[in-house]
């Protein structure tokens, strides 16, 4: 146990809202007192009259192991000898109203398998990591100028043994990693694996913020999963939900008989849209809880980043609420000023503790400077999901190609703001569930056109500035939308069109990884330049992606109609000869084979604002990537 002065200092910092490792103070920890081994328990419950530790070891009798209130601000502690790893326990809390409540430990590192809800003692120091090389390389990497392509998955519905019976984290590592690595992704993003009572919340309604869900194994099993990802060159990002928590009786709701983790004011506490409760972002102990939680996942599990869920719901008091269900802030606005302050404080703390991490905001509004540092007025994240691009592009792709010319702005508008934030282009689970249809099935047209549209969309996505994210199943064109109680339709890979789509994603990733123009200047305006954004009548756009090397440039031409065009003129920035290095219409991908096989020499006549142009075949519903392969005589002479 920490010495008395250290303990007092930690308690002081906890109540001040600045204890960044509060999970070391609170919760259940192996300890030795007076030469006897046991478990030290500590919990924050300022409104409780009495708190006891109960479990099988004392027949759930709260009279056996009462806790001592060690300060006026409500931290209770107890040391129970001869308990060890695996002990099942809860806190029995006597409220000021005379009611007894059984609560899971808010700081528990492990829990019973649902539907049981007790906490489980689990030390954090049992696992030996073997990812030193990855962690060193991560510190040296400039992630902003590196390729980032994220495979988002929900473990339980990626593949299972049978309904509601899942593989272990270690078994998932052996299955997921080779598959994702073969496809060429750089990162995996997991839907929340924090402990949650209801499978169909997908982890977004949490009860155990510090606990790895026991559905798939133990904390050490999950560490193995992350460790193996790192050893095989894959980063791991975890969805994290600091905005709200569920109301299950054993969880945080009215933890000690009063509103503690949630706001006391119901208009601020209630998330009526989701039936959950908002954290009290004005309470300093809640700051210590949530900031410690973010740091915990990044430090203890070596995670490479957190995708922070539903940031807009934290920023705005009226989010998801009807008139009369919310109150203006002290300045007469709808912003949650306490939440804004908390978010900035959280990001500052995280980047001080883990500078080489990713903090990605799922933020769906026009709030400015989300991914900018706090010292210039930003929220302090380093990435933001580009929800505007996602909505515009899906709306455009769902439109019949005949009518796309009337919606041309949907594919060009994103470039007006593409460099205002550090963006991730997300096609997430939220877009392929609840009747929205799968990504493939959103596409109009006949069977062939659906796959061609999908390839064109993904080709444009990987050519567009911003890091990439695609939800599982999209990589092989799953026909059905995400079925969260079933696993993916892996049998579709026995069919040519789906196998070819998976192969397309693999080769598209290889192109992406090998092409610095597609990622090196992702967040700078000089990384992108339009060639032709105005050809709405034919639904064709062309542009250049640039890298820091002036001669390293890709020309991208996208056709969003089924029409083939021969001898189509495309302006190009430089003289020389161009080669089509990748086409979504290649026959091996299921395309029609309208490719450009030979060299495309420049013609010295101005076109589309360029001094010269090439003529090429434009494939139907296709994306072509061109690269200059030889320089002009003038450039050779200059050298």
Mean pLDDT of 27-48: 97
* Residue 164 pLDDT class (50, 70, 90 cuts): confident
Chain center to CA of 548: 28
Cβ count near 210 (within 10 Å): 27
At residue 638 the predicted structure's pLDDT band, cuts being 50, 70 and 90, is very low
For 439-475, give one letter per residue: b (16+ CB within 10 A) or e: bbbbbeeeeebbbbbbbbbbbbbbbbbbbbbbbbbbb
- Name the pLDDT band for 635 (thresholds 50, 70, 90): low
CA distances (Å), origin 507, targets 9, 183, 193? 55, 8, 31
What pLDDT digit, counting tens, does each position of 16-35 carry?
A: 999 999 999 999 999 999 99
CA 361 → CA 55, 149, 240, 370, 597, distances in Å? 39, 16, 10, 8, 43
Chain CA centroid to CA 266, Å: 30
**pLDDT grade, residue 634 (50/70/90)?**
low
Is the pLDDT at 639 greater than 50? The verdict is: no
Spatial distance between the Cα atoms of 344 and 203, rounded to a whole number of angstroms: 25
H or E segment and range at residue 221? helix 219-231
pLDDT of residue 366: 93
The answer to whether 27 and 108 have CB atoms below 8 angstroms apart is yes
Residues designated catalytic: 309, 362
For 250-272, how does the pLDDT look when each residue is reduced to its tens digit (9 = 90+)? 999 999 999 999 999 999 999 99
pLDDT of residue 496: 97
24: its two tokens: 């070391």
Of the chain, the end-to-end C-alpha distance in Å amounts to 71
Nearest one of 540, 411, 429, 425 to 474, comparing CA atoms: 429
Residue 550 pLDDT class (50, 70, 90 cuts): confident
- Max CA pair span of the chain: 92
Residue 45 and residue 102 in contact, taking contact as beta carbons nearer than 8 Å: no
DSSP state of 442: H
Confidence of residue 551 (pLDDT cuts 50, 70, 90): confident
Cis before 589 (ω within 30): no
pLDDT score, position 82: 96
Q: Is residue 420 helix, strand or coil?
A: coil
633 confidence band (pLDDT: 50, 70, 90) = low
Walk me through the domains of the chain, giving residue ranges and CATH numbers: 4-120 (2.60.40.10), 386-428+441-475+502-639 (2.60.40.1180)
**Conformational region of residue 444, where left means phi above 0, alpha means psi within -120 to 50, and beta covers everything else:** beta
Average the pLDDT over 301-322 and give the result.
96
> Residue 149's pLDDT is what?
98
Q: Number of C-alpha atoms within 13 angstroms, CB side, residue 617?
A: 16
Percentage of the chain surpassing pLDDT 90?
A: 96
Q: Is the pLDDT of residue 573 over 80?
A: yes
pLDDT mean over 55-79: 97
CB atoms within 10 A of CB 351: 17
The mean of the pLDDT values for the chain is 96
Could you give the angle at the alpha carbon of 354 between the alpha carbons of 352 and 355, nearest 5°? Answer: 70
**Mean pLDDT, range 237-254, rounded to an integer:** 97
Helices of type H across 427-526: 439-442, 447-463, 496-514
Average pLDDT for residues 116-136, to the nearest whole number? 97
Return the pLDDT at 107: 98
Residue 234: DSSP 8-state: -
The 10s digit of each residue's pLDDT in 433-468 is 999 999 999 999 999 999 999 999 999 999 999 999
Residue 4: per-residue pLDDT: 76
Q: Tell me which of 323 and 562 has the higher pLDDT.
A: 562
Coil, strand or helix: which one is 102? strand
Residue pLDDT, tens place only, 410-436: 999 999 999 999 999 999 999 999 999
Q: Phi-psi region for residue 201, left (φ > 0), alpha (ψ -120 to 50) or beta? A: alpha
Residue among 467, 441, 418, 399 nearest 146 (CA): 467
Residue 343: the pLDDT is 98
């Amino acid at each position: 146990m920490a010495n008395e002065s250290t303990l007092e200092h930690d308690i002081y910092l906890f109540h001040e809202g600045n204890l960044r490792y509060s999970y070391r103070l609170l919760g259940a920890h192996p300890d030795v007192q007076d030469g006897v081994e046991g478990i030290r328990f500590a919990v924050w419950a300022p409104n409780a009259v009495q708190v006891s530790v109960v479990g099988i070891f004392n027949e759930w009798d709260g009279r056996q192991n009462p806790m001592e209130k060690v300060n006026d601000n409500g931290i209770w502690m107890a040391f129970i000898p001869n308990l060890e790893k695996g002990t099942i326990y809860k806190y029995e809390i006597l409220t000021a109203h005379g009611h007894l409540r059984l609560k899971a430990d808010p700081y528990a590192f492990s829990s019973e398998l649902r539907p049981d809800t007790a906490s489980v003692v689990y030390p954090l120091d049992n696992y030996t990591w073997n990812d030193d090389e990855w962690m060193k390389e991560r510190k040296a990497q400039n992630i902003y100028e590196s390729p980032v392509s994220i495979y988002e998955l929900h473990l339980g519905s990626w593949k299972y043994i049978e309904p509601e019976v899942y593989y272990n984290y270690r078994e998932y590592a052996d299955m997921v990693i080779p598959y994702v690595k073969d496809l060429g992704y750089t990162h995996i993003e997991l839907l929340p694996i924090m402990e949650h009572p209801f499978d169909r919340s997908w982890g977004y309604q949490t009860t155990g913020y510090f606990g790895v869900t026991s559905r798939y194994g133990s904390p050490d099993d999950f560490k193995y999963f992350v460790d193996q990802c790192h050893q095989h060159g894959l980063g791991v990002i975890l969805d994290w939900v600091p905005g709200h928590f569920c109301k299950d009786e054993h969880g945080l709701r009215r933890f000690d008989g009063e509103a503690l983790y949630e706001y006391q004011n119901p208009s601020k506490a209630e998330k009526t849209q989701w039936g959950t409760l908002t954290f009290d972002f004005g309470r300093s102990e809640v700051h210590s809880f949530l900031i410690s939680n973010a740091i915990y996942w990044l430090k203890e599990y070596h995670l490479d980043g957190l995708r922070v869920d539903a940031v807009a719901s934290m920023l705005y008091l009226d989010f998801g609420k009807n008139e009369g269900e919310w109150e203006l802030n002290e300045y007469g606005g709808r912003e949650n000023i306490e939440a804004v302050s908390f978010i900035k404080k959280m990001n500052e703390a995280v980047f001080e503790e883990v500078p080489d991490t990713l903090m990605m905001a799922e933020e769906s509004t026009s709030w400015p400077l989300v991914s900018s540092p706090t010292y210039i007025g930003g929220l302090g994240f380093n990435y933001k999901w580009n929800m505007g691009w996602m909505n515009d592009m899906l709306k455009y792709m769902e439109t019949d190609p005949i009518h796309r010319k009337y919606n041309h702005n949907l594919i060009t508008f994103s470039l007006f703001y593409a460099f205002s934030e550090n963006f991730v282009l997300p096609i997430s689970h939220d877009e392929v569930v609840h009747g929205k249809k799968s990504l493939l099935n959103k596409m109009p047209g006949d069977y062939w056109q659906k796959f061609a549209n999908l390839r064109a969309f993904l080709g444009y996505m990987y050519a567009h500035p911003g890091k990439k994210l695609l939800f599982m199943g999209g990589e092989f064109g799953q026909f059905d939308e995400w079925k969260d109680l079933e696993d993916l339709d892996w049998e579709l890979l026995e069919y040519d069109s789906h196998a070819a789509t998976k192969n397309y994603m693999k080769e598209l990733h290889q192109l992406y990884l090998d092409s610095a123009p597609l990622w090196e200047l992702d967040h700078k305006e000089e990384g992108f330049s339009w060639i032709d954004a105005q050809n709405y009548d034919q639904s064709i756009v062309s542009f250049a992606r640039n890298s820091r090397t002036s001669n390293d440039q890709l020309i991208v031409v996208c056709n969003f109609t089924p029409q083939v065009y021969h001898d189509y003129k495309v302006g190009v920035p430089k003289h020389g000869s161009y080669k089509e290095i990748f086409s979504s219409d290649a026959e091996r991908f299921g395309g029609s084979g309208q490719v450009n096989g030979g060299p495309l020499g420049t013609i010295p006549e101005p076109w589309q604002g360029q001094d010269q142009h090439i003529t090429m075949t434009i494939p139907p519903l296709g994306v072509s990537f061109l690269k200059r392969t030889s320089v002009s005589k003038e450039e050779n002479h200059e050298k």
